[in-house]
Structures are given as C-alpha cells and as structure tokens.
Amino acid sequence: MAVIRDRPETTRRLNAVDAAVVLVLAIMIPLAYLAYLLFRPPQPRLVGVTPTSIVQGISGRLLIHGQNLRPFMRISLNDIQAKNFAITSVTGAEADLPTTLAPGTYDVVLYDYAQEVSRLPRAVTVVPAAPTPSLTMLVGGAFVGLQRADAERLKPGLKLSQGDTPDNGVAEVVSVGAPTTAAVRIRVGDSVVATPVADRLLVPAVVRVGCYTEALGDGTLRCIVPSAPQPVPLVPDAFLSFRTPEQWYSFQISDVRGEARPPAATVRGRFVIAREIARRMKAGDVDTTVTGYEPDIAPRIVSLDQPPPPSGASSINDAPVTVVVTFRLPVQQLAHGWAYRGRPLKTGITMTFETDEYTISGMVIDYNIGAAAR
C-alpha cells in the first residue's frame, strides 16, 4: 500500500538549512558585538579646563584636561569655536580662545568632527575688562618724508588730529629740532636698518599724545593711540599718523615717557677707546639715539675727567686710552631703584653713548641722583 507523506522532502531540507543559518547567526552576532566592544576607539571625555576665568578682550589659552583625546577634534565655548586645538597627550590639549567672547558663563564642548562627544557645563567665565584711564604721554621721534614747506609748518604748540575722527583726540607738538635728510628705520629680523628717503626731510620732535591702556596676556599694560587707519601701540619704531586741515604727517617713534619731568642722574663711566675717538669727544656732546627730551635734560657729556691728548701729540702705537666720562642722564624711578633707557641703573653695568660722530661703550663706576655717589 502506498504511503502518502504529509510533508514533502524539500520542506525538511529547507528547515535544516534554516536551522543552520539561525545557528550561525546566533553565534556570529554576539561575536561581532564583542569584537566591536573590544576594538572600538575609547570614548573621549572632558575632565576639566584651566583657567576657569578669563578677562574679556584677551586672547587667552585654555588648557584642557580629559581622557582619550585625539587629533582632529575641536573645542567650542557654547557655539563659539576656539581658534585651534593642539593635542599634547591623550589626557591634555590646548586651545587659543578668540578675543570676541562677551562677558558671561560658557559650556566647554568637545567635538569629534561634527559630533558632540563631551561637555563641561558652565566651565569658563568671561569677566568684563576693568576700566582703564586715558593717559597722556610724551613721544620722541621724528616726522619723516617731509618737503621743505611741510617741515616749516611744524612749530611747538601745533595741534594735530590723531585720526580721521574728532573722537580720536588731538596731539600737540612740544618741541621741534632742525630738519635733516630723511631716513626711515625698518625692522629686518632682529635688527633695525635706517634707509634714506630721497628728496625728503626728517624733523626730530617731541609730541604729546593721548592713549588708552590695553592689557596683554601676561597682565602687563601697553598704551594704544587711536591713530588712522588703525590703532598703534606706543613702541619704538612704530608709525603714528597725524593730520592738519592741510595734510597728513607720518611720525616714527623712538622713545616714550610720561608727562612728568624726569629726574637727572650724574653718572660716571670708564671707557677704553681708540685715541681717535677720544680726540672727538667733548663736553656737551648729546646722545642722538635718545629722543623725546627737552634739550636741557637730554643725555649729554658733562666733563671728561681724563681729557685725551691733543691731536698733534705723539702716542705709542696708537694704543687705546682709558677715559672717565661724567654724564647727565634722565632717569626713571622703579620699585627697586632707578633705570635709564629701560634698563636698571647700577654700578658695574655696561652703558653705551652714541652721537652722530662716534659710539662708545663702557662701565658705570658710580652715579648720584641729588645725593651721595652710589
């Protein structure tokens, strides 16, 4: 008798295949998940930042402490992105902050490409910059690139606009020197090169300017003149732009000092110099590299304690001579002593004196400022 099967043979074979597939999937899916957990990159995480408080307007650097940090990430304060993100290790990084941050409290957000991976809520506070007073400074230097008629207009008391709007303030010419052939000092690397300007004159002068203070990243202050076309810090060799109703003037800075008349120091120095230079030296010589002072307080030679021999006198092999020179120098009082040209004035330091004809360098042997010699 024939047996009628209720399930065809193909059905049993398909069920066996299905079972094998299910078995393979049941084994492979957990293995794949375990492999993902084992080999996936660890999750980056922010731990903290330093500093937690910065001053508005200062381009500060944020030190970032975290875990599993890696390149190509970026940092934002809320939605304001930092300038860069420099990895120092898997637990540390640095980011330069923009100066446009408004006062307030900010979240620090870490992104991996476009995806946010970690956040420190209310981690950084930007505090308003403290108000700083407007100052008046005396700036020594020279008006450059002038024609003869332009130079003749420069007189003590002349008012000069410091920019292209009245809000930028007014400068005043305090004193004017004799015109000379124009030259512009150009910075080349770490040195400064004087370049002549054809058919133009240079007029040494002292100008009283108004400026406002700006805090630097290290906490020090500098003074900024709202000049045109952009603000200019009061530093040597910088250019200020002034104007009168008739024209614009360019002024190159050499020295900056406050309004108060500086005290003068009597300084004695010992110099070992060539006889030819010693013959050129005389009382009344003025250091031409230091400007910004009225003629009566400009650095000058008062006397030569050991005058050089006459030019016709014979010498042995033209050997160098030792000359002790007494100077009158404008100085500035600091918290721990006195300074000349920005350097502490002390016995034993090296000093340089330069005129249009010679330069000498020697050692300070003593000085006094209205008191006994030091």
Integer Cα distance of 372 and 374 in angstroms: 6
Query: Which of 92, 51, 97 lies closest to 78 in space, CA to CA?
Result: 97
Integer Cα distance of 148 and 199 in angstroms: 9
Q: CB–CB of 275/309 below 8 Å?
A: yes
Residue 349 has what pLDDT? Answer: 92
Provide the terminal-to-terminal Cα distance of the chain, rounded to the nearest Å.
138
Note the helical H segments in 77-163.
148-153
Integer Cα distance of 220 and 60 in angstroms: 14
Q: List residues bridging with 25 in a β-sheet.
A: none
Residue 204 has what pLDDT? Answer: 86
Domain ranges of the chain: 1-40, 45-127, 134-258, 264-368
Q: Domain 45-127 carries which CATH code?
A: 2.60.40.10
Amino acid at 158: L
Amino acid at 71: P
Q: Is 1 helix (H, G, I), strand (E, B) or coil?
A: coil
Q: What are the average pLDDT values for consecutive 10-residue runs of the chain, which has 374 residues?
A: 54 64 77 65 87 79 89 88 85 87 90 89 82 76 86 89 66 87 69 69 88 76 78 86 85 82 89 90 87 77 73 59 92 82 87 89 89 44
Residue 372 has what pLDDT? Answer: 40
Helices and strands in the chain: count of H runs, count of E runs: 3, 26
Residue 179 has what pLDDT? Answer: 86
Query: Which of 274, 284, 366 lies closest to 323 in space, CA to CA?
Result: 274
